[in-house]
Chains A and B, each alone.
Chain A
Amino acid sequence: TQLLEQSPQFLSIQEGENLTVYCNSSSVFSSLQWYRQEPGEGPVLLVTVVTGGEVKKLKRLTFQFGDARKDSSLHITAAQPGDTGLYLCAGARGAQKLVFGQGTRLTINP
């Protein structure tokens, strides 16, 4: 059973377009993280959200944690080829281990 469901699994869009990817669960998490992974490398943390309803911005990337702390979204404005990669969400319950979603593989075409 996948505790964190990410959608879409694959997304290919043109440079300059906007996009949103989702991370959903039936479970409550104390915090949620987003990682980006490029080919041949390990995942790298982008952001951690800990409060229900929290919104964090990282340049053109906007992350939101759901009010009930069961879901999150990542919105990218004016996507660029450098945004291409695998985006992973990961949830934590207190001091326990992280649970990762399956990931969204994003391709931005020039």
Chain B
Amino acid sequence: DAGVIQSPRHEVTEMGQEVTLRCKPISGHDYLFWYRQTMMRGLELLIYFNNNVPIDDSGMPEDRFSAKMPNASFSTLKIQPSEPRDSAVYFCASSLLAGQDTQYFGPGTRLTVL
């Protein structure tokens, strides 16, 4: 298996622009997680899905952030409009189960908002 695939790997945009991050989970995994990592706040869970349904979005910072999972093999995280404080590395992870099951992380998308 190719593992979790994320695109783009790097994104540089200007404040106010829309940003869309993409993720393809490992085939057969029922859970998909979106995380944000910064030096100040560490790794934060933004939202997670089970069988394409959002289960917990309490970590989404504000209404500018939205996530979708239209099918089992694709998810997007959208920021509109983007702000400099959104600059971070965004990770997607997938797992068979929740809780203590192993989460497999993608390589991340490094987002810089100027």
Contacts and interface: CB of A to CB of B under 8 A. Distances in A.
B107 A42 contact: yes
Q: Interface on chain A toward B: helix, strand, loop, or mixed SS?
A: loop
B4 A97 contact: no
Given A42-B93, A97-B48, A33 B100 contact: yes
B105 A98 contact: no
Contacts of B42: 2, 88, 100-103
Q: How large is the interface on A (under 10, 10 to 19, 20 to 34, 35 or more residues)?
A: 20 to 34
Q: How large is the interface on B (under 10, 10 to 19, 20 to 34, 35 or more residues)?
A: 20 to 34
A95 B4 CA distance: 22
A44 interface: yes
Contacts, number: 59
A108 to B, nearest CB: 21
A30 B98 CA distance: 12
Contact of A50 (B91, B100, B103): B100
Interface string A93-110: 111111111110000000
B61 interface: no
Contacts of B70: none
Contacts of B43: 43, 88, 100, 103
Interface in A38-55: 40-45, 48, 50
Given A100-B42, A102-B42, A41 B108 contact: yes
B63 to A, nearest CB: 21
Nearest to A91: B100
Interface of A: 2, 30-31, 33, 40-45, 48, 50, 88, 92-103
22 contacts: A31-B100, A40-B107, A41-B105, A41-B107, A42-B4, A42-B93, A42-B105, A42-B108, A43-B43, A44-B105, A45-B103, A92-B99, A92-B100, A93-B99, A96-B99, A97-B45, A97-B48, A97-B56, A98-B99, A100-B44, A101-B42, A103-B43
